[in-house]
Amino acid sequence: MNDSSDLTVSPEYAEKLYKAGFNQDKSYFMCVDGKIVARQSLAYMGLYKAEKEAVAAPIDSEILDELPIVLRKKNLCCSKSVPDIRGNPFWQVSYDWEAVFESVTLANAAAAMFCYLSENNLLPPTS
Protein backbone atom coordinates (compact mmCIF):
# COMPACT_ATOMS: atom_id res chain seq x y z
CA MET A 1 0.00 0.00 0.00
CA ASN A 2 1.57 3.26 -1.14
CA ASP A 3 -1.31 5.53 -0.22
CA SER A 4 -1.29 6.79 3.38
CA SER A 5 -4.90 8.06 3.21
CA ASP A 6 -6.30 4.80 4.64
CA LEU A 7 -3.88 4.95 7.56
CA THR A 8 -3.73 8.60 8.53
CA VAL A 9 -6.31 11.17 9.49
CA SER A 10 -7.64 13.44 6.79
CA PRO A 11 -6.04 16.88 6.41
CA GLU A 12 -9.13 18.35 8.11
CA TYR A 13 -8.69 16.13 11.17
CA ALA A 14 -4.94 16.85 11.22
CA GLU A 15 -5.83 20.53 11.77
CA LYS A 16 -8.50 19.68 14.35
CA LEU A 17 -6.06 17.48 16.28
CA TYR A 18 -3.47 20.25 16.23
CA LYS A 19 -6.00 22.69 17.69
CA ALA A 20 -7.09 20.07 20.25
CA GLY A 21 -3.52 19.75 21.54
CA PHE A 22 -2.47 16.43 20.00
CA ASN A 23 1.26 15.76 20.46
CA GLN A 24 2.97 16.95 17.28
CA ASP A 25 6.27 15.16 17.89
CA LYS A 26 5.23 11.51 17.64
CA SER A 27 3.56 11.18 14.25
CA TYR A 28 5.31 9.59 11.29
CA PHE A 29 3.15 11.52 8.82
CA MET A 30 2.61 15.26 8.57
CA CYS A 31 0.07 17.45 6.79
CA VAL A 32 1.39 20.38 4.75
CA ASP A 33 -0.89 22.55 2.65
CA GLY A 34 -3.57 19.85 2.71
CA LYS A 35 -1.23 17.05 1.65
CA ILE A 36 -0.12 14.11 3.79
CA VAL A 37 3.62 13.37 3.60
CA ALA A 38 6.09 11.32 5.60
CA ARG A 39 7.91 13.41 8.22
CA GLN A 40 11.38 12.61 6.86
CA SER A 41 10.43 13.79 3.37
CA LEU A 42 9.65 17.31 4.62
CA ALA A 43 13.29 18.38 4.71
CA TYR A 44 13.93 16.73 1.33
CA MET A 45 10.98 18.57 -0.18
CA GLY A 46 12.07 21.88 1.36
CA LEU A 47 8.80 22.25 3.23
CA TYR A 48 10.20 23.31 6.60
CA LYS A 49 9.87 27.00 5.82
CA ALA A 50 8.33 29.58 8.12
CA GLU A 51 5.43 30.24 5.73
CA LYS A 52 4.45 26.55 5.55
CA GLU A 53 3.50 25.05 8.87
CA ALA A 54 3.28 21.27 9.06
CA VAL A 55 0.96 19.57 11.54
CA ALA A 56 0.91 15.94 12.61
CA ALA A 57 -1.28 13.57 10.56
CA PRO A 58 -1.23 10.55 12.85
CA ILE A 59 -2.22 7.01 12.00
CA ASP A 60 -4.97 5.30 13.98
CA SER A 61 -2.68 3.60 16.51
CA GLU A 62 -0.89 6.87 17.31
CA ILE A 63 -4.22 8.44 18.26
CA LEU A 64 -5.58 5.41 20.10
CA ASP A 65 -2.39 5.35 22.21
CA GLU A 66 -3.31 8.85 23.45
CA LEU A 67 -6.90 7.96 24.41
CA PRO A 68 -7.60 6.70 27.92
CA ILE A 69 -8.45 2.99 27.96
CA VAL A 70 -11.07 3.59 30.65
CA LEU A 71 -13.05 6.80 31.07
CA ARG A 72 -15.54 7.20 33.92
CA LYS A 73 -15.65 3.42 34.39
CA LYS A 74 -16.41 2.89 30.70
CA ASN A 75 -14.09 0.99 28.35
CA LEU A 76 -12.71 2.30 25.08
CA CYS A 77 -14.36 0.41 22.19
CA CYS A 78 -13.33 0.30 18.53
CA SER A 79 -15.35 -1.67 16.01
CA LYS A 80 -15.95 -1.96 12.31
CA SER A 81 -19.62 -1.82 11.34
CA VAL A 82 -21.52 -3.54 8.59
CA PRO A 83 -20.91 -1.95 5.16
CA ASP A 84 -23.31 0.77 4.07
CA ILE A 85 -25.29 0.72 0.81
CA ARG A 86 -22.13 1.55 -1.20
CA GLY A 87 -20.21 -1.26 0.49
CA ASN A 88 -18.16 1.04 2.73
CA PRO A 89 -17.76 -0.14 6.31
CA PHE A 90 -17.67 2.44 9.07
CA TRP A 91 -15.34 2.45 12.04
CA GLN A 92 -16.82 3.34 15.41
CA VAL A 93 -14.95 4.59 18.48
CA SER A 94 -16.77 5.01 21.79
CA TYR A 95 -16.69 4.41 25.51
CA ASP A 96 -19.10 1.51 26.06
CA TRP A 97 -21.25 2.83 23.21
CA GLU A 98 -21.69 6.34 24.62
CA ALA A 99 -20.48 9.31 22.57
CA VAL A 100 -20.00 7.15 19.47
CA PHE A 101 -17.88 8.61 16.67
CA GLU A 102 -18.03 7.05 13.20
CA SER A 103 -15.93 7.44 10.08
CA VAL A 104 -14.83 5.48 7.04
CA THR A 105 -11.34 5.26 8.61
CA LEU A 106 -10.41 4.28 12.14
CA ALA A 107 -7.95 7.20 12.25
CA ASN A 108 -10.70 9.80 11.68
CA ALA A 109 -13.07 8.14 14.16
CA ALA A 110 -10.31 8.09 16.80
CA ALA A 111 -9.43 11.71 15.96
CA ALA A 112 -13.06 12.74 16.48
CA MET A 113 -13.01 11.05 19.90
CA PHE A 114 -9.71 12.77 20.83
CA CYS A 115 -11.13 16.17 19.84
CA TYR A 116 -14.33 15.50 21.81
CA LEU A 117 -12.38 14.51 24.92
CA SER A 118 -10.12 17.55 24.56
CA GLU A 119 -13.04 19.97 24.13
CA ASN A 120 -14.68 18.54 27.24
CA ASN A 121 -11.48 18.43 29.34
CA LEU A 122 -11.67 14.65 29.65
CA LEU A 123 -8.14 13.80 28.52
CA PRO A 124 -5.72 12.76 31.26
CA PRO A 125 -2.92 15.25 32.00
CA THR A 126 0.22 14.74 29.93
CA SER A 127 3.55 14.33 31.60
Over pLDDT 70: what percentage of the chain?
A: 87
pTM: 0.85
Better-scored residue on pLDDT, 53 or 90: 90
Q: Name the residue ranges covered by the structural domains of the chain.
A: 4-119
Task: Output the pLDDT for position 1.
Answer: 39
Task: Output the pLDDT for position 125.
Answer: 83
How would DSSP label each residue in 44-82? HHT---TTS--EE--BHHHHHTTS-SEETTEEEEEEE--
How would DSSP label each residue in 10-31? PHHHHHHHHHTT--SSS-SEEE
For 34-83, write each residue's pLDDT tens digit: 888 888 777 666 655 433 678 999 999 999 999 999 998 999 999 998 88
Is pLDDT at 2 greater than 70 in this prediction? no
Strands 29-32 and 55-56: antiparallel
